[in-house]
Amino acid sequence: MSAALIRRPELPALGDRLRREGRRIAFANGCFDILHVGHVRYLEEAKKCGDVLVVGVNSDRSVAALKGPGRPILPEEARAELVAALAPVDYVVIFAELTAAGVLRDLHPDVHCKGTDYSVETVPERDLVKSYGGVVQIVGDAKNHSTRELLAEIARRTRQD
């Protein structure tokens, strides 16, 4: 069963409903340009932080700004659909900003989950999350998987053929 794809304006109502139901909300975000095992492990660990996992997927424009020329490889709708198909994920929302601050303000998750390429101190939205009573949690395995490295390996192998 796939997660629900929701529109950004629906986030405040979703957060309110889940809190009324007494559910702990975990939030994770990323570009998820080409899914790899690091993404899966990150989302599996994030799900353990709450009853419900909401995942923010960066829009095409924000991925291009964050990752540079030639990115994203997959369009935002496809990336959101792929993330929604993963077992740990309950809801997926596409967001256009460079950070997840606006989504966090709309949703107010109990836990903001970030990957191991961050520390609690370096999470850009840390103060915002603390301001409404949430916590930041670092989750997933060591950052030794990346889309950039995967693309480089594909290019290397293609040149060899």
- Alpha-helical segments (H) within 6-145: 11-20, 37-47, 60-67, 76-84, 101-107, 126-131
Instruction: Return the number of other C-beta atoms located less than 10 Å from residue 88's C-beta.
Output: 19
Query: What does the pLDDT look like over 68-85, one tens digit per residue?
Result: 999 999 999 999 999 999
Look at 6 and 159; give whichever has higher pLDDT.
6
Integer Cα distance of 68 and 146 in angstroms: 15
> 151 CB contacts (<8 Å, ≥6 apart)?
34, 73
pLDDT of residue 79: 97
> 69 CB contacts (<8 Å, ≥6 apart)?
none
Query: What does the pLDDT look like over 110-160, one tens digit per residue?
Result: 999 999 999 999 999 999 999 999 999 999 987 777 777 877 777 788 887
Integer Cα distance of 151 and 79 in angstroms: 16
Instruction: Return the number of other C-beta atoms located less than 10 Å from residue 139's C-beta.
Output: 21
Predicted model pTM: 0.91
Q: With bands split at pLDDT 50, 70 and 90, how would you rate the model's confidence at 50?
A: very high
Proportion of the chain above pLDDT 90, given as a percent: 83
Instruction: List the one residue out of 96, 21, 5 whose CA is nearest residue 54.
Output: 5
Q: Are 81 and 5 in contact (CB under 8 A)?
A: yes
Q: With bands split at pLDDT 50, 70 and 90, how would you rate the model's confidence at 87?
A: very high
Q: With bands split at pLDDT 50, 70 and 90, how would you rate the model's confidence at 161?
A: low
